[in-house]
């Protein structure tokens, strides 16, 4: 039971953080009243609500707030009661901003006509939705911050042109992503991406290592990525091949 309880506690904590980071709003669009997803959400909320209430009660009892509370408590900024001392606001990794932070940033920007907002981000690299980020703040930037200009940084120095072309085609399958053409500062002589299809799950590690061994001329360190952590080897030990 201890392992299950810990997993449930982590799930509740993640939901609480996302819920408060989204301004205590639930995005339940797309589910009809009889759908399995809607029924599943309702059941989860019945379990979660008393936990949330007790969490807030205990915080209030000791006079403490969490990080998301700090963002929500900055209402004086949104009510134009903050004397903005800065002329420039610079934001990096903007694609990972949450709704609550975007609203706070918008309020800071509106607090003075002399404030300039400069954000750097890449919606193609937004991977933190599970942590509360909302890509809409970037794809609908003008809705949050008004008139703006865009400077595209469309040259990558991370990989060659063949990988840039392949990854671009993959990302742009999602119509929500911002349309752009990425080029590289170096050309690719060989294929950077090779796809293989396997019917079975378990033996694929040995199969992959044999393929890698055939492609490499010397001993190499290889990084293995999986969509879910549960698909990685249970032991967590390095997988090696002689």
pLDDT tens, position by position, 116-138: 999 999 999 988 877 778 888 89
**C-beta of residue 53 within 8 angstroms of C-beta of residue 86:** no
What is d(CA 81, CA 84) in angstroms, rounded to the nearest whole number? 9
Collapsing DSSP states into helix, strand and coil, what is residue 208? helix
pLDDT of residue 4: 52
Nearest partner of 128 among 8, 21, 231, judged by Cα? 21
Name, in order, each residue with C-beta under 8 angstroms of 230's C-beta and a sequence gap of 6 or more. none
pLDDT of residue 1: 47
The domain spans of the chain are 2-69, 74-151, 196-242
Q: Are strands 155-156 and 116-119 parallel, antiparallel or unpaired?
A: unpaired
What's the predicted TM-score (pTM) here? 0.65
pLDDT of residue 104: 86
Question: CB-hemisphere CA count at 13 Å for 96?
Answer: 8
Residue recorded with tokens 């932070």: 101
Question: CB-hemisphere CA count at 13 Å for 89?
Answer: 20
Q: Are strands 183-184 and 88-91 parallel, antiparallel or unpaired?
A: unpaired
Mind listing the pLDDT tens digit of every residue in the chain (242 residues)? 444 567 778 888 888 888 887 766 665 555 555 677 788 888 888 888 888 889 889 999 999 988 888 877 776 777 777 788 899 999 999 999 988 888 889 888 888 888 999 999 999 998 887 777 888 889 999 988 988 999 999 999 988 888 899 999 999 999 989 999 999 988 876 777 777 777 765 566 777 777 777 877 777 777 777 777 777 765 555 555 55
Does the domain at 74-151 match CATH 3.40.50.300? Answer given as: yes
Alpha carbon separation from 189 to 150, 161, 184, 192 (Å, rounded): 33, 9, 13, 9
CA dihedral 75, 77, 81, 85 (to 10 degrees): 160
Collapsing DSSP states into helix, strand and coil, what is residue 168? helix
Question: CB-hemisphere CA count at 13 Å for 208?
Answer: 17
Alpha carbon separation from 173 to 167, 182, 214 (Å, rounded): 10, 15, 32
What is d(CA 97, CA 137) in angstroms, rounded to the nearest whole number? 7
What is d(CA 57, CA 221) in angstroms, rounded to the nearest whole number? 50
pLDDT of residue 222: 74
């Amino acid at each position: 039971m201890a392992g299950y309880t810990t997993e449930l506690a982590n799930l509740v904590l993640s939901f609480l953080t996302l819920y408060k980071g989204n301004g205590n709003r639930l995005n339940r669009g797309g589910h009809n009243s009889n759908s399995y997803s809607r029924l599943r959400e309702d059941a989860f909320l019945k379990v979660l609500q008393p936990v949330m209430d007790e969490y807030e009660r205990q915080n209030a009892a000791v006079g403490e707030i969490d990080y998301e509370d700090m963002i929500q408590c900055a209402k004086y900024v949104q009510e134009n009661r903050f004397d903005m001392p800065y002329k420039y606001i610079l934001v990096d990794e903007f694609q990972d901003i949450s709704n609550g932070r975007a609203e706070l940033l918008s309020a800071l920007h509106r607090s003075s006509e002399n404030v300039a907002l400069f954000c750097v981000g890449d919606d193609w690299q937004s991977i933190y939705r599970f942590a509360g980020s909302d890509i809409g703040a970037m794809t609908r930037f003008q809705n949050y911050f008004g008139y703006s200009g865009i400077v595209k940084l469309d040259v990558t120095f991370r990989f060659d042109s063949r990988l840039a072309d392949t990854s671009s085609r993959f990302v742009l399958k999602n119509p929500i992503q911002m349309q752009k053409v990425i080029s590289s500062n170096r050309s690719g002589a060989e294929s950077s991406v090779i796809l293989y299809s396997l019917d079975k799950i378990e033996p694929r590690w040995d199969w992959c290592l044999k393929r890698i061994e055939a492609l490499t001329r010397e001993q190499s360190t290889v990084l293995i990525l999986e969509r879910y952590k549960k698909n990685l080897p249970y032991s967590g030990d390095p997988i090696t091949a002689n």
